Copies of this chain bind each other. A is one copy, B any other.
Amino acid sequence: MPTEAPSPKQRSTAARARLLAAANELFYAEGIRAVGIDRVIEHAGVAKATLYSAFGNKEGLVRAYLEARHTATSERMQQELEARYRTPKERLVGVFEVQGLSFADPDFRGCAFISANADAPNVAAVEEASKDYRTWVHALFFDLAEQAGAKDPKQLAQQLVLLYDGSGISAWLDHDRSADNTARTVAAALVDAAIPDDL
């Protein structure tokens, strides 16, 4: 029994969205290899053929899952940064506070792209989506560092990326809820040291 009326003229969008939501929940919680197609379609309340007509094969679903996660993450980061902080310098440190929001989610299970690379290596969809995601992470810090007038924005960005990844690992594997705090403290010191405050 599907939820509500399936609504007409939606073509594949409705089923596609539910499949994507199911894939997101299951893949993120249990891993890509560990979750079979049958689990996904059952959780989505959708027929198998619908999945294959919408995504081609499992790899297509994995690609869509990772791309959706990428856009959701980057959009949320951008919105939260704009809403919470004003200057690039503040936002550079604020990234870690926004990151910490996801740590508080009881369903947090670490970075989806790190996990995907570990449990489905040598899969084109994973490699490509991860490459895009990593590019975004670096650009996020680099652009802010540049806007903030850092002396060496590339170096500062690399340093902050280390903290960003490390914070996610500690929050995940060590169940350390204060990992974002630790990262933020160090980040603030690095930012202060790298940016000449002329105000």
Contact = CB atoms under 8 A, between A and B. Distances in A.
Interface of A: 30-31, 33-34, 109-110, 113-122, 130, 134, 138, 155, 158-159, 161-167, 169-170, 172-174, 176, 179, 182-183, 185-186, 189-190, 193
A161 B155 contact: no
A134 B164 CA distance: 18
Nearest to A193: B189
A128 to B, nearest CB: 13
B33 A121 contact: no
Contacts of A30: 121-122
A170 B121 CA distance: 16
Interface centre among A118, A122, A170, A193, by most chain B C-beta atoms within 10 angstroms, is A118
A134 B182 contact: no
B117 A173 contact: yes
A161 B165 contact: no
A131 B33 CA distance: 23
B182 A155 contact: yes
Interface centre among A30, A113, A115, by most chain B C-beta atoms within 10 angstroms, is A115
Contact of A162 (B33, B122, B134, B162): B162
Contacts of A116: 118
A198 B84 CA distance: 42
Contact of A134 (B109, B118, B159, B173): B173
A61 B189 CA distance: 44
A28 to B, nearest CB: 11
Contacts of A193: 189
Contacts of A189: 189-190, 193
